[in-house]
Amino acid sequence: MTRTVMVVTHGGRPEAISAAAEAVSELERAGFRVIRPGDESIPPSYRAPVGAPSLQESGVLEGVEAVVVLGGDGTILRAAELTRGSTVPLLGINLGHVGFLAESERESLRDSVRRLAERNYAIEARGVLGVTISKPSGESPLTDWALNEATIEKADRQRMIEVSLAIDGRPLESFGCDGVVISTATGSTAHAFSAGGPVIWPDVDALLVVPLAAHALFARPLVVGPHSTVSVLVAESGAREAVVTMDGRRQVVVKQGTQIDIRRGQHPVYLARLSTAPFADRLVNKFTLPVQGWREQR
């Protein structure tokens, strides 16, 4: 029986094009049938609009065993768009800078293909966010999702947005700010981390709320439970428009009076894992943390 793998890569970088050619060659040598975006009625630069139906529903992923992703975290997020709603795992091979979601580096490509062919890998489910955007006009809400984070940010660089924050329908605080980031544990090492939020271990089922440059006495990051709903209302004062962005890839401009409700999403994203090293080691390796002296003392 023919085994099928999809290869997704950052199409604009020479290194990615070269790595993709090598990956396809290695996969075919290992006996895989290889498809790529563009081969199966998927535009090469596919970017799902907010609220778009899943490609899983179209049958494109029928029989696909795994997706080999060549690039950084942005390319892996694109691959997650392609596979949303399916159980097809993503195997990330880092060609970017940090590549926190990637499982191996460029120089290990051949070994990664061998492990894939041998089915010598684990599959890890990562929770996602479900995002509902309710506009004041009363039209049907927009729904979307995110693997890393959803952000509500000011559209006008010269003015703050005013937001009201509620947890499980209970008002918590109102303040002016540049925006608010709501992330998964997976996304805690991305935008939320850059904004001063804590790193959350990926097996912690929680939502992280991080205000951006908030003009308030109490505007620290919050970690809320997995069954909670975080609501952000764009208030009638402040900037007239805000931008809601999912994973830095899909966005919609909203007006004052819009409410964004964020909760745990229904369909996790699956990652193929080659390493059994604990998450602490991944942090050390990806961020090049200075721990050598501490280990010598031990």
Question: In angstroms, rounded to a whole number, what is the distance separating the alpha carbons of residues 34 and 3?
Answer: 9
Q: Which of 73, 144, 247, 261 is catalytic?
A: 73
Q: What six digits make up the tokens of 157?
A: 């660089």
Q: How many alpha carbons fall within 13 Å on the CB side of residue 54?
A: 15
3-state secondary structure 17-81: HHHHHHHHHHHHHCCEEEECCCCCCCCCCCCCCCCCCCHHHHCCCCCEEEEEEEECHHHHHHHHH
Q: Which amino acid appears at position 285 of this protein?
A: N
Q: How many alpha carbons fall within 13 Å on the CB side of residue 7?
A: 25
Taking each continuous run of H as one helix and of E as one strand, the counts in the chain are: 6, 19
73 is catalytic: yes
Question: In angstroms, rounded to a whole number, what is the distance separating the alpha carbons of residues 235 and 275?
Answer: 46
Active site residues: 73
